[in-house]
């Protein structure tokens, strides 16, 4: 039975659809983002796989694996790890480093830009990145998000409008680096 609020069972398709997008579209990464993914991949493919292999061996040593919760947990962890390893490999295999792609006019918001915006009295600075690096808490927003898409091509002094979950928003672009 699909989870509550997912009557047709489509939520389970989201990871597969994200993988299709990664396989088709280039993934824009900063040098920092690429290095983080390479480090994570090295950790998962080395230490992570060894730890799971040890957990599986331990669970097998407990006896009948057909009824072993420990074995099932280790298999699920292995599946998640391999899914993440595969995802990172696909991203790294299909990435474009920000700065390698053709650049737009100076002072124009583009992927890799740091843009300072004003929302009423509040002023914040964001970096426009690809979806693989997006982390709003760290001030990194995807160029594919409603806000990121609205900012693309803007220059200092422009006001951009976009639809957010809480409704229509507008931001004034203060600076573009």
pLDDT tens digits for range 50-107: 999 999 998 888 877 777 788 889 999 999 999 999 999 999 998 888 876 556 778 8
* CA angle, 156 then 102 then 17, to 5°: 95
Question: Residue 4: its pLDDT value, please?
Answer: 54
Is a pLDDT exceeding 50 seen at residue 22? no
Rounded CA gap, 128 and 103, in Å?
A: 14
pTM for this predicted structure: 0.69
Identify any residues that bridge with 172 across adjacent strands, giving them in sequence order.
118, 159
Give me the residues paired with residue 96 across strands. 28
**β-pair partners for 141:** 128
Residue 14 pLDDT greater than 70, yes or no = no
pLDDT tens per residue across span 23-33: 567 888 889 99
DSSP codes joined into one string, the chain: -PPTT-TT-GGGGHHHHHHHHHHHS-EEE-HHHHHHHHHHHHHIIIIIHHHHHHHHHHHHHTS-GGG-HHHHHHHHHHHHHHHHHHHHHHHHHTEEETTTSPP-STTB--TT-EEEEEETTEEEEEEEE-TTT-BGGGTEEETTSHHHHHHTT-BTT-EEEEEETTEEEEEEEEEE-
**Range scoring the smallest mean pLDDT among 4-8, 44-48, 146-150:** 4-8
pLDDT in tens, 115-166: 999 998 999 999 999 988 999 999 999 999 999 999 999 999 999 999 988 8
Domains present along the chain, CATH in parentheses: 11-97 (1.10.287.180), 114-176 (3.10.50.30)
């Amino acid at each position: 039975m699909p989870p509550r609020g997912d009557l047709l069972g489509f939520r389970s398709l989201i990871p597969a659809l994200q993988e299709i997008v990664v396989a088709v579209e280039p993934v824009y990464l900063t040098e920092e983002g690429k290095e983080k993914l390479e480090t994570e991949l090295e950790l998962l493919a080395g230490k992570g796989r060894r730890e799971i292999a040890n957990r599986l061996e331990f669970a097998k040593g407990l006896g009948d694996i057909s009824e072993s919760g420990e074995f099932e947990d280790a298999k699920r962890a292995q599946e998640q790890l391999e899914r993440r390893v595969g995802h990172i490999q696909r991203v790294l295999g299909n990435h474009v480093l920000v700065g390698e792609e053709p650049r737009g006019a100076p002072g124009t918001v583009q992927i890799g830009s740091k843009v300072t915006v004003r929302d009423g009295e509040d002023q914040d600075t964001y970096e426009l990145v690809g979806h693989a690096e997006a982390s709003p808490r760290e001030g990194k927003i995807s160029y594919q998000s409603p806000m990121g898409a609205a900012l693309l091509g803007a220059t200092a002094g422009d006001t951009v409008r976009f639809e957010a979950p809480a409704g229509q928003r507008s931001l004034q672009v203060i600076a573009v680096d």
